Structure 1
Amino acid sequence: MYRPHPFSWVPADGARHASSDTKPTSGYPTGICVATLCGHQLIADNTELAWLWDTCPDCNTAAHVLAEVPMPPAVGAR
């Protein structure tokens, strides 16, 4: 399975988190426990609605570091 970065996104606990756990071909199934980049063990919720949740800011920061992509400036920042 192609994985351009050493992490994948997974909805869990009310937010979209990033995890470096091995990702099954069909994605992290609902109910599986994943270790997140923000340092938690959370239960995946791979439902359509869950993918609309906000992104965990700590996972987002860690994912940008791993991807070697700088964080965009905050909205309204000059």
Structure 2
Amino acid sequence: MSFQPYPFHWVPAAGQRHASTDARPPGGYPTGMEVATLCGCRLDADNSELAWFWNTCPVCNRAAHALAGVPLYGGH
């Protein structure tokens, strides 16, 4: 079992980086795997190298910070 400091993982999907509490397979969510995101969507993961450079979904970002108990600086 691997260390997981927070109850979510980041996953690129639909042109943004989203957060999900779905179980993550070893190596990450494979491209095409449907995941439920913290912004309330069900999206297909995109595990391509460039997808990790996409902007972060602001709704997922706020929800992830709340789950982690970490303040969101700058009001974003």
TM-score range, shorter chain: over 0.9
Segments ≥4 residues shifted beyond 3 Å? none
**In 2, Cα distance between the equivalents of 1:3 and 1:24?**
13
Return the offset for 1:42. Answer: 0.1
Return the offset for 1:63. Answer: 0.1
1:35 and 2:33 are equivalent in the alignment: no
CA-to-partner distance for each residue in 1:16-71, whole Å, 9 max, x for gaps?
00000001111000010000000000000000010000000000000000000000
Aligned twin of 1:10: 11
Identity %, equivalent residues: 61
| Structure 1 unpaired stretches of 5+ | none
SS of alignment partner, residue 7 of structure 2:
coil
User: Match of 2:21, as an amino acid?
Assistant: S
Number of residue pairs aligned between Structure 1 and Structure 2? 75
User: Match of 2:49, as an amino acid?
Assistant: E
**In 2, Cα distance between the equivalents of 1:70 and 1:26?**
28
**In 2, Cα distance between the equivalents of 1:14 and 1:42?**
10
1:51 and 2:52 are equivalent in the alignment: yes
SS of alignment partner, residue 65 of structure 1:
helix
- TM norm structure 1: 0.92
Aligned twin of 2:73: 72
**Superposition RMSD in Å:** 1.2
- Structure with the bigger percentage of helix: 2
